[in-house]
Amino acid sequence: MTTDLPFQAIIFDMDETLVASLQSWTHAETRLFKLLGAEYTAEIAQRYAGMNAQDVARTIYRETRPAQYTEEDCARLMREYLLEGFRGPLHAMPGADALIRGLAGRLPLAVASGSPLEGIALAFRQFGWSRFFSVIVSSEEVAHGKPSPDVFLEAGRRLGCPPTSTLVIEDSLHGVHAAKAAGMTCYVVPSRDDPRIAEAADRAFTSLDGITNILLKGDAHA
């Protein structure tokens, strides 16, 4: 596989990077909070944005301390609620399909997501993307989810690409911190109005189209 791109491999986050799944996540979180007798708030959600379903559920459990449910119960329920939402229909983030198809065949692509593997499969099936990715990793498969670097390091290991030659494309602060902790370059399209996200990344863009212009059209000013 030959390419004139400055990277040997690209790792994508999925949620709110490739797939507009915020509604599915928010619905699952709200449903779990309600079950536990509490109320979803954007302030709490910002603390766990970018984490995997199990870590989100653990955060909610620690916030609510329900007497009738264990931490494991919360993780199981959160996962179930999220997968219900991923059964669709879902929408791709603007520019995602063009970027994936434009990169396919030029260098190896991976996904490293906080979503369960089943959720990734459900989403990718709707868009016909599975064949473009040689590696798909959920942070449920590694010891620590984002902001720890484990999921990106595991994706890089499976790709056989050193961190210094790997680009990560992210949307969240936890995701950017994980990518940088892995020693990888990180481009970000922030999904939240938080200046720390852009500040933590190597480059920030307003949409995936800007990344497409850089990687596929050679527009250094995009």
Residues 200 and 107 occupy one common structural domain: yes
> How many independent structural domains does the chain possess?
2
DSSP letter (8 states) at residue 103 = H
**Cα separation, 85 vs 31, whole angstroms:** 12
Residues 128 and 38 occupy one common structural domain: no
Residues 58 and 145 occupy one common structural domain: no
What's residue 4's pLDDT?
66
Residues 206 and 143 occupy one common structural domain: yes
192 domain residue, yes or no: yes
1 domain residue, yes or no: no
Q: Which of 61, 86, 111 delimits the end of a domain?
A: 86
**Are 101 and 216 in contact, with CB atoms under 8 Å apart?**
no
Average pLDDT over residues 147-170: 98
Average pLDDT over residues 174-187: 98
4 domain residue, yes or no: no
DSSP string, 139-175: GGGSSS-TTSSHHHHHHHHHHT--GGGEEEEE-SHHH
Task: Give the HSE-up count for residue 13: Cα atoms under 13 Å, Cβ half-sphere.
Answer: 34
Give the tens place of pLDDT for each residue, 42-70: 888 888 878 888 999 999 999 999 999 99
Phi, psi angle pair for 114, to nearest 5°: -80, -10
Domain that holds residue 185: 9-21+91-217
The CA-based dihedral angle spanning residues 94, 211, 222, 7, taken in that order and rounded to the nearest 10 degrees: -170
**165 pLDDT exceeds 70?**
yes
Give the tens place of pLDDT for each residue, 54-110: 999 999 999 999 999 999 999 999 999 999 999 989 999 999 999 999 999 999 999
In the structure encoding, which two tokens stand for residue 172, read together? 């969240």
Task: Give the HSE-up count for residue 197: Cα atoms under 13 Å, Cβ half-sphere.
Answer: 22
* Other CB atoms within 10 Å distance of the CB of residue 109: 21
CATH code, domain carrying 185: 3.40.50.1000
Residues 16 and 27 occupy one common structural domain: no
Residues 77 and 174 occupy one common structural domain: no
Alpha-carbon 91 to chain mean position: 15
For the question of whether the overall pTM of this predicted structure is more than 0.75, the answer is yes
Residues 41 and 105 occupy one common structural domain: no
222 domain residue, yes or no: no
What's residue 2's pLDDT?
40
What's residue 76's pLDDT?
95
Residues 121 and 155 occupy one common structural domain: yes
